[in-house]
Chains A and B, each alone.
Chain A
């Protein structure tokens, strides 16, 4: 009897890129549910639009690059990029915003650099940064959480607002500045922190409504770490560093600096820590490097929030640390078994 030969190992644990990506999508579900509850069904419309745009642009580029369509569309990586970006956008943002951002993320940030596995920057955050710089008004028109509205726009109203632009007063009626934005503006105007935080837009630890979404993303993120799809070191490094630096400034000047728990529970801190910074392709890969990389994202997030030009800084912090990732990897190889020093000498 003749047999085909192959090289060892002959067995596989059965994981695949598609499975890894699907896990990320599953882990986003609690967060999505919370976002829909807090900001209305517009979130789902954004997700659907982003998914369609991502799959279409992925298919287009794959066809142009003569790559197997089924294989690479089936890996779900485009969907992950789409969802990560869509969840970072205002729920009632115009349809072209999410389509443009997703298209840019897939075509330029991912495929121009070589496609899956080769992108030096997080594609979703590139898309986000492009939109934030190009369309600051649309990007900062966030829907107010349901707690602060008489009634959150329903599905039909959301579609109308997203596609037809709706009547501007109507949109103005349901939108509000984000808690981080409000805090920043009021501090700049010289209002004391305590008075500002007493406003209804602020909740127990973070922003009203936003707290719930943060908690839901935390649940999904912890599950992702438990499944080892995301390396715990990156969120630990990021949230740890953010907590440390926020604590330092809060202790130094509590009248002008929000408490560390406010920073952790606000904006995209938790979402970014578990879902954005953990994108393995653009992050550091060594165990120690991931801690450092995460810490860098956390520090930069705080720096941008406090001294930068934007209310939240997760996206730029991640992109900046993407640049540093190869260097971090170079200086943080693990100590090889049986070696005395870190650089492998005996």
Chain B
């Protein structure tokens, strides 16, 4: 079906929330190169899937762009040295997680030379004629993951298992405060479009749509210009504005807006022949193929009233968050909460001593005024505001009742696991209930129960198998014995002997004894006759 024919119009999803954008705070200045820190921390698991496996030893000197850790398995991503230096340690270090739990990381001590390795793959000029499999291989080697936050290994997503008919480039960036994608599009639109075309080639798809919120006119103009520059190469690429309505940047929501297609709730977009990639990922793919550069840096928005001079940085992976904030003028007196990501779905962390990772879009240092007031939670009055803003058409207040009452089966029946945790319901709740927190809790409990059920199921089936095995062995032994007896009996019957071999033996022995006796008697009789001769 030629999809692009149906794309003249926009569709809509239910719910959603018009939120103050707060983008201008960080878009007033151009993207700035972040200073190299003295020490870079590179967590081995900063992507979805298996952690990368280090291929360097402690103390080893590495150059910029050199491989530090290789992917372990299919769904994993490589890790490269963001600058030249020496491997100081491979040990657990704090990462951007609310618990601050240290995770295994390679610690790189920068030498300040920032010298590139000579072993980079060759830059490719004419990338759009290359073999798709080779392109995917290069993307995998470059350690590219989804830069829109999910950090899913991109090479896996470029593998067109089902035929991909439509590639959607997610340029919506709907979450407030975050502007890294917008600034990327404004300053490097050519790389974005170039990357998109390479991805399309790798997927063997034809139609592309770039979905961008209508609140970003500069980025829209830059992309239009870049598309025009690509000319015929960018044929069948549609640049489409979507209304600024959170969460239009959710992949299922964006696909719905652009194509009218609802991805089935238990399925993936690929099942419908659609794939969604982020603009930042497209630019990274462009850099990896056209310049041969692995993913060693990304654009991070540092914003909020808690930083003196908000802006976007091109930061090396592994740069401490504190160092970025410092370069943005430092924390202000109003800094109240440190959030990785945006205000709707971001993660609050206890300190900025954690590194920039590939999936980190934004460092939001929020002031008290920017945050939800610490209102006490009131009882739910069932007003239904949460129902009207839910982009997935759930019944958040019912889910809340069941989660609170620990009726997780009821919550699941109301599609608990369809919740995307966008935060709309909690943001509009007049009773200030921490709804999303309840859903996370319920999901965790359900998963834990499922795991323990699985374990119990496994133990039971193991036990049953053991019982079955014992029984089987016993039966096998009995059968063997029976069979031996039968064989012997059959042999005996074949030799014509009486039924019992013992009796036969005795009879034979008796016969032998009698024969001997008879012979002796005969001899004695013969001797007695001789003298009579």
Contact = CB atoms under 8 A, between A and B. Distances in A.
Interface residues of B, number: 73
Contact of B378 (A1, A6, A75, A285): A75
Contact of B387 (A6, A286, A340): A286
A4 B385 contact: no
A5 B350 contact: yes
Given A116-B378, A117-B431, A8 B421 contact: yes
Nearest to A12: B372
A257 to B, nearest CB: 35
Contacts of A226: none
A1 B428 CA distance: 31
Nearest to B339: A10
Given A6-B337, A333-B414, A337-B13, A71 B376 contact: yes
Give the dominant DSSP class at B's interface.
loop
A7 B348 contact: yes
Contacts, number: 180
Contacts of B13: 337
A285 B395 CA distance: 9
A257 B265 CA distance: 51
A13 B429 CA distance: 8
A322 to B, nearest CB: 12
B383 A8 contact: no
A279 to B, nearest CB: 9
Given A3-B336, A3-B338, A3-B351, A8 B382 contact: no
B344 A9 contact: yes
Contacts of A13: 17, 427-428
Give the dominant DSSP class at A's interface.
loop
Given A11-B176, A285-B395, A3 B350 contact: yes
Given A3-B351, A9-B343, A11-B343, A333 B395 contact: yes
Contacts of A339: 264-265, 415
Nearest to A231: B384
Nearest to B413: A344
A334 B395 contact: yes
B430 A16 contact: yes
Interface in A41-82: 68, 71, 75, 77
Contacts of A329: 398
B380 A117 contact: yes
A287 interface: yes
B363 to A, nearest CB: 12
Given A2-B350, A9-B343, A333-B395, A285 B265 contact: no
Contacts of A281: 381-382
**Which of A4, A11, A15, A283 has the largest number of chain B CB atoms within 10 A?**
A11
A10 B343 CA distance: 5
B378 A71 contact: yes
B384 A280 contact: yes
Contacts of B381: 17, 20, 77, 116-117, 280-281
Interface string B1-36: 000000000000110010100000000000000000
B65 interface: no
A199 interface: no
A186 interface: no
Contacts of A8: 339, 341, 343-348, 421, 423, 436
A339 B382 CA distance: 24
A12 B432 contact: yes
A19 B379 CA distance: 15
Nearest to A4: B337
Nearest to A68: B376
B351 A2 contact: yes
**Which of B265, B383, B395, B415 has the largest number of chain A CB atoms within 10 A?**
B383
B431 A17 contact: yes
B118 interface: no
B375 A16 contact: yes
Given A5-B350, A7-B437, A16-B432, A285 B344 contact: no
A326 B372 CA distance: 32
B486 interface: no
A338 interface: yes
Nearest to A333: B395
Contacts of A283: 382
Interface in B411-456: 414-415, 418, 421, 423-424, 426-432, 434, 436-437, 440
A203 interface: no
A337 B418 contact: yes
A15 B431 CA distance: 8
A56 B372 CA distance: 32
Contacts of B366: 10
A17 B337 contact: no
Nearest to B253: A337
A118 B379 contact: yes
Contact of A336 (B265, B341, B345, B372): B265
A5 B393 contact: no
Contact of B344 (A1, A11, A338): A11
B222 interface: no
A73 B428 CA distance: 22
Contacts of A340: 264
B372 A337 contact: no
Contacts of B19: 11
A10 B337 contact: yes
B370 interface: yes
A170 B510 CA distance: 143
A334 B349 contact: no
A24 to B, nearest CB: 11
Contacts of A165: none
A12 B373 contact: yes
A333 B398 CA distance: 10
Contacts of B398: 285, 329
12 contacts: A7-B434, A7-B436, A8-B339, A10-B337, A10-B348, A10-B371, A11-B370, A118-B379, A280-B381, A283-B382, A337-B252, A344-B415
Given A12-B427, A280-B384, 15 more contacts: A3-B338, A5-B337, A5-B349, A6-B337, A11-B344, A12-B373, A19-B430, A115-B379, A116-B381, A229-B383, A286-B395, A287-B387, A334-B387, A337-B14, A337-B418
